[in-house]
Amino acid sequence: MHSHRGSWDWLAATAVVLALLTLTNCSRPTPDTPASTSPASMGPTQEHRIRFSSVAKQTGIDFRYQNGEALWLVAMIESNGGGVGWIDFDRDGRWDLFLPGGGQLTSERRPIMVANGLFRQTTQQGFAPAAEQAGVEAGVCYSFGVAVGDYDADGFPDLFITGYGGQQLLRNLGDGTFEDATALSGFSHHGWSSSAAWFDAENDGDLDLYIAHYGIWSPETDKRCSNGSGELDRCAPADYVGESDELWINQGDGRFEDRSEDVKTFSYRGIGVIACDFDHDGDTDLYVSNDEDPNVLFDNQLEEQLAGSKRDTQNHQQFKEVGATSGTALGSRSIVDGSMGLALGDFDGNLKPDLMVTNYQNEYCELYLNQGKQYFTLGTRSSGLMALGQAVVGWGTAFGDLDLDGDEDLLVIAGHTSRKPIKSSNLQKPYLLENKDRKRLVSCGESTGEFFRQVHAGRGMAIADYDNDGDLDFAVSMIEQPMELLRNDTPKGNYLIVDLVGLRSNRDAIGAWLELELQEESPEGANRLEPSSSSRKLLKHRFAGGSYASSHASSLHLGLGNTTRINRLTVHWPGGKIETITDLLPNRRILVIESAERAD
């Protein structure tokens, strides 16, 4: 949608300072086992009420991720592609877009750095190139991912870039430019890092960093492989040894301490990471998707350590790996998958965050339904997600209420890593699945816009309401194809957008979550308060990471359907503090600032 609504307004509330802003509105040879070639859908292509338009070119964004595949070296490093990151780097209230550039390869397979992209949004809802002026154009690595977070808590979001041959921390100076703070920070790894997520591991108010690593690769160790038909193609993950991930703890002075020993139990081929308080215990957990290795869930047990003297805090492990016991290590096939992208949202409406993991060909995109206390059940079959089939090689993904009806729909971006896949195709269609009654996901992508009827070399994806009209749009990075921006043109519904600012918590409020109690319309249609028994609730988490190598916009976006009044907004801050605001109107963007009092 791109219509305007309302005007600016300011209100105050008890418990927190509240400013309400009413908006102006992985590669491997492909096995020979059969694979479905198309997902179940609505049937013959017909226009759907959810509509997206491709607008990158008309808004001034011209950028493509490069991987060097033109030389046909079939190097392993070419496979994974890059992400995208939404960032309001100049704090003007409009979302800007950062894009890792990737890299080229010499004939000896040695990486050549490629310029990154930064596009600043203008007042006309167009974008202008800003990478050179902002000082973020020059890269130090064959880049893959971007993690956006305000690690120095100065109010201006910073950038961390993953890749091969180095990592880069770009500190936002607040004047429209960035400085390279990599050397001071201590980040020094020169292997293959895939994705990263900022989070507050210790609830001390500043952001720490988890970095997922893929495998041990170099130009000297790159192998020559073939597919099932004997043709030259990229190698399988099993041809390369995995590498342990990194954990860095913020010291508060620009430097980070390497605590990677805390998570080095496993040397897997990591691709995605997401940071979220999965069990609602007040500290932030981590989930890592791995390529042909078990996925891992690190339960942050910080709050248990702080609970009392009965626990031996010196010998107690803060991050306990519970992937197997939680039911999230494997999928429907009960063997390891080639996992890539991660989506988080309350699909089934039980007020707990569920996980969706995109996987490789001949595997399923898997849905893990959160039952509480770090226990999940598989919802892949019951939700209809299996109907996507097994030809899909999924990457960037996100839950989001795309039609503003009060439930979480699903986006999946796809593209094969094999140049010559068997019983599939290198270029693939993306998918949009509509949530039906919080029970089923129904594919309707081809009827929602031209982008969903075309095939792409899709990789990273991130969502944002970039045009400030109240609905969710998204940006997509593709290998050696122009990136795309998809504007949501769905008929309007009611919504609420919440920006959180932590004071005692980390400033980005990563690890927080919201509960909304909505006022249902009375049978007579009157706009009056109903008894609490007739209200319903929505849940939204402030998480970091997710999708593939990308950063979603930090605002929390909730579709409200026909609801015209919000009875109660409850904010659960990291560390356990709970604050409540009552009697809100929809169709606003609000800023909620944590109070300075300690949690009880």
Q: Mean pLDDT, to the nearest integer, of 347-356?
A: 98
> Which residues are bridge partners to 513 per DSSP?
541, 572
- Cα–Cα dist 350/337, whole Å: 27
Position 35 pLDDT exceeds 60: no
* Mean pLDDT of the 29-49 span: 48
Q: Which residue has the higher pLDDT, 8 or 371?
A: 371
CA distance 100 to 82: 6
What number of H helices and E strands is found in the chain?
5, 41
What average pLDDT score do residues 50-61 get?
97
For residues 433 and 428, give the distance between their C-alpha atoms in angstroms, rounded to a whole number.
16
Calculate mean pLDDT across residues 193-208. Answer: 97
pLDDT value at position 46?
Answer: 64
Q: Report d(CA 272, CA 282) in Å as an integer.
A: 23
Please tell me the distance from the alpha carbon of residue 483 to that of residue 549, in angstroms, as a whole number.
15
Are 352 and 383 in contact by the 8 Å Cβ rule? The answer is no
DSSP 363-429: S--EEEEEEETTEEEE-TTTTTGGGG-SS--EEEEEEE-TT-SSS-EEEEEE--SSSS-TTS-SSB-
Answer whether residue 356 shows pLDDT above 90. Answer: yes
Residue 316 has pLDDT above 80, yes or no: no
pLDDT at 137: 97
Strands (E), 507-596: 513-518, 536-541, 544-545, 556-561, 566-572, 578-584, 588-593
Give the pLDDT score at 277. Answer: 98
Classify residue 114 by its DSSP letter.
-
Place of tokens 């070639």: 37
- With cut-offs at 50, 70 and 90, classify the pLDDT of residue 598: confident
HSE at residue 396, side-chain half, CA atoms within 13 A, is: 30
Decide: 182 and 190 in contact? Cβ < 8 Å: no
β-strand pairing of 588-593 with 494-501: parallel
Is the pLDDT score of 407 beyond 60?
yes
Q: How confident is the model at residue 314 (pLDDT cuts 50, 70, 90)?
A: low
pLDDT for the residue 519: 86
Q: Which residue has the higher pLDDT, 532 or 404?
A: 404
pLDDT at 397: 98
Lowest model confidence (mean pLDDT) among 18-27, 429-438, 589-598: 18-27
- Whether 445 has a pLDDT exceeding 90, the answer reads no
570 or 3, which is more confident:
570
Evaluate if residue 534 carries a pLDDT over 50: yes
What single letter denotes the amino acid at residue 19? A
Percent of the chain with pLDDT over 90: 79
Query: pTM for the whole thing?
Result: 0.91
Please give the residue that has the higher pLDDT: either 514 or 238.
514
Neighbours of 381 (CB within 10 A): 12
Least confident of 36-40, 310-314, 423-427: 36-40
Q: Between residues 445 and 516, which one has the greater pLDDT? A: 516
Q: How far apart are CA 591 and CA 8, in angstroms?
A: 13
The mean of the pLDDT values for the chain is: 89
**The residue to which tokens 């075309």 are assigned:** 454
Q: How confident is the model at residue 13 (pLDDT cuts 50, 70, 90)?
A: very low
Residue 133, SS3 per DSSP:
helix
The CA distance from 217 to 198, in Å, is: 25
Distance in angstroms (rounded) separating the CA atoms of residues 102 and 397: 20
Q: Which of 83, 66, 81, 79 is nearest to 421 (CA)?
A: 79
Residue 544 to residue 314: CA distance in whole angstroms: 28
Kindly list the strands in the beta sheet with 178-180, ordered across the sheet, starting from the edge strand earlier in the chain: 142-149, 158-164, 168-172, 178-180
Distance CA 306, CA 318 (A): 11
What local confidence, expressed as pLDDT, does residue 26 receive? 36
Residue 513: helix, strand or coil by DSSP? strand
The pLDDT assigned to 532 comes to 43
* 568-589 pLDDT per residue, tens: 999 999 999 999 999 999 999 9
Question: How high is the pLDDT of residue 85?
Answer: 98
- Tens of pLDDT, residue by residue over 146-155, are 999 999 999 9
Counting Cα atoms < 13 Å in the Cβ hemisphere of 80 gives 37
User: Which residues, 6 or more positions from 417, have their beta carbon under 8 angstroms from its beta carbon?
Assistant: 26, 27, 28, 79, 80, 234, 360, 393
Is residue 213 over pLDDT 60?
A: yes
Is the predicted pLDDT of residue 268 greater than 60, yes or no?
A: yes
Q: Can you list the domains of the chain with their CATH numbers?
A: 65-488 (2.130.10.10), 494-522+532-593 (2.60.40)
Closest listed residue to residue 144, CA positions, set 551, 529, 514, 556: 551
Tell whether the torsion through CA atoms of 99, 100, 105 and 106 is positive or negative. positive
Q: What is the pLDDT of residue 525?
A: 45
Kindly indicate the confidence band of residue 371, based on its pLDDT and cuts at 50, 70 and 90.
very high
**Per-residue pLDDT tens over the stretch 375-401:** 999 999 999 999 888 989 999 999 999
